[in-house]
Structure formats: structure tokens, C-alpha cells
Structure 1
Amino acid sequence: MDPTIAGALASLFGAAVGGGITYLLNRQQHRQQLSLAREQQKTEYMAEETARHFLSHKGYTDRSFEVLQKHLGGFGEDELRKILVRAGAIRTYRDDGSEWWRLLSRMDEYIESKTS
């Protein structure tokens, strides 16, 4: 075999093996980074789920901000409001100035209860 062709094949083989190893290592690193990112966002995701749970209760279409803040402890007021918005809630104020939240998806139910 011609030494030039053998050298080219050896180089090609080395590049293919090196590329395969690099691909496998990068794929593993990407999986670990994705797993870490999911774990970091888990707190906020679970807070949204908890907010949806409280706002989906059949007996109450609205919940006061104080009640939500009591049950979703560990968040500042502004941060909790952002979580509620991400959960699909809207804010309303009562005549006494208190802050209340309800899910936008339950707006029809709220209007129906007010007209009945």
C-alpha cells in the first residue's frame, strides 16, 4: 500500500475516533447541564403548581394574597406575584383595598356566580 494513502487513512481514522469520543463526552455533559437546570427551576415550578392548586379549589374562585403568601412561604411579595402570574392568575382588589387572586381559566365560573 502506498505510504501516502496509509497516512491519509490513519489520519482519517484518528479524526473519526477523536470526533466520536468528543461527541459522546459533549452529549453526556449536555445531559448533566440539563438535569442541573431542571433541578434549579424545580422550586419555582412547584410553587406555580401549588398556587394553581389553591386557586383551583372548587369552593373558592378567589384567594387573598395573604392566604397565598402564608401557604407559599419563602418568597418575597413581588416574587410571589410573578409566580401567580406564571400560574395563570389575575389580581383584583376588593372594596376594602385587599388584594385577591383568581385563575384566568375560572373567570367564567366567577362571572356565573356573581350573576346568579
Structure 2
Amino acid sequence: MTEILIPTIAALIGTAFGGLITYLTHRQQLRHDLKVLKETYKTDFMAEETAKHFLSHKSHIERSFDVLQKHLGGFEDNELRKILVRAGAIREFREDGSEWWRLLSRMDEYIKRKKSSKSN
């Protein structure tokens, strides 16, 4: 029985060790690949982060497209809209035809403010 048990345990330890090495190697490779992708598409990543920053402002739940375009210059209109969507924003047109954007994650806050302004 011992003749079978020792080689089996040794094989399991070897397999587990090999699996751990493979896992760590793949994890490091994925981190490297992500870093390369971020560097390649740095402008887009930074534009999304900047859009999130403007739309996460404490007192401004939403921003006009004109304001966002002014601060995120260098993008064509539709490209900027794609960046805003990737950042998690949604668009609304007001009665005057102006275009406004807000983060979907702030919808509850927006609705709460809208209700409180109507009751005042």
C-alpha cells in the first residue's frame, strides 16, 4: 500500500506545484497585457476617467455636452459621445434642445433631487 501511496502523493504535489507556477505565470502575463493595452489606448482610458470625474462632481449631477466637449477637447462629437457611454453616462435632451449627460450610477440621486425641486 505504501508503494502506491508515496508515488501518488508525490505526483499530486508535483501537479499542484506545476499548476501554481502556471497560474502565477499567466497572471503576470495578463497584467503585462493589460498594461500594454492601457498604454496603447491611453487617450481613451484617460478621456473616460475625465468624463467620470466631471459627471461625479458633488453638486453637478449632470453636465451639458458643450461643457464636456470644452473640457474633453480633441474628439469629434460622436467619438466623445461613445466615450461618455463607455464611462457609464446616459444622454437627455432638454426642452430647449440642449444635450445633457449624467452617470447612470447617479440616477437615484437625480430622481431624488428632481422630486425635491418639484415639491418646493
TM-score by length of structure 1 reads 0.69
Identical aligned residues as a percent: 69
Tell me how far 1:39 sits from its aligned partner: 1.2
Could you say what secondary structure the match of 1:91 adopts?
Answer: strand
Structure 2 partner of 1:112: 112
Aligned residue number for residue 53 of structure 1: 53
What amino acid is the match of 1:47? A
Q: Which amino acid aligns with 1:79?
A: E
Matches of 1:38 and 1:97 in 2, distance apart?
A: 36
SS of equivalent to 2:41: helix
- 1:37-64 Cα shifts (integer Å, max 9, x gaps): 3311111001000000000001111100
**Rounded Cα–Cα distance in structure 1 between residues aligned with 2:72 and 2:114:** 28
Give the TM-score, by structure 2 length: 0.67
RMSD: 1.8
Number of residue pairs matched by the alignment? 87
Return the index of the structure with the highest Cα Rg.
Answer: 1
SS in 1 for 2:92: strand
In structure 2, stretches of 5+ residues that fail to align are: 1-28
Matches within 5 A, 1:1-116: 34=33, 35-116=35-116
Q: Which runs of 5+ in 1 are unaligned?
A: 1-29
Looking at structure 2, the residues matched to 38 and 57 of structure 1 have their Cα atoms a distance apart, in angstroms, of 25
Q: What is the distance in 2 between the residues matched to 1:73 and 1:52?
A: 15
Q: Which amino acid in structure 2 is aligned with residue 85 of structure 1?
A: V
* Partner amino acid, structure 1, of 2:51: A
* SS state at 1:83 partner: helix
Q: Return the alpha-carbon distance in structure 2 between the equivalents of residues 36 and 113 of structure 1.
A: 42
Shift of 1:36: 4.1
Runs of 4+ aligned structure 1 residues displaced above 4 Å come to: none
**C-alpha separation between the residues in 2 aligned to 1:47 and 1:114?**
29
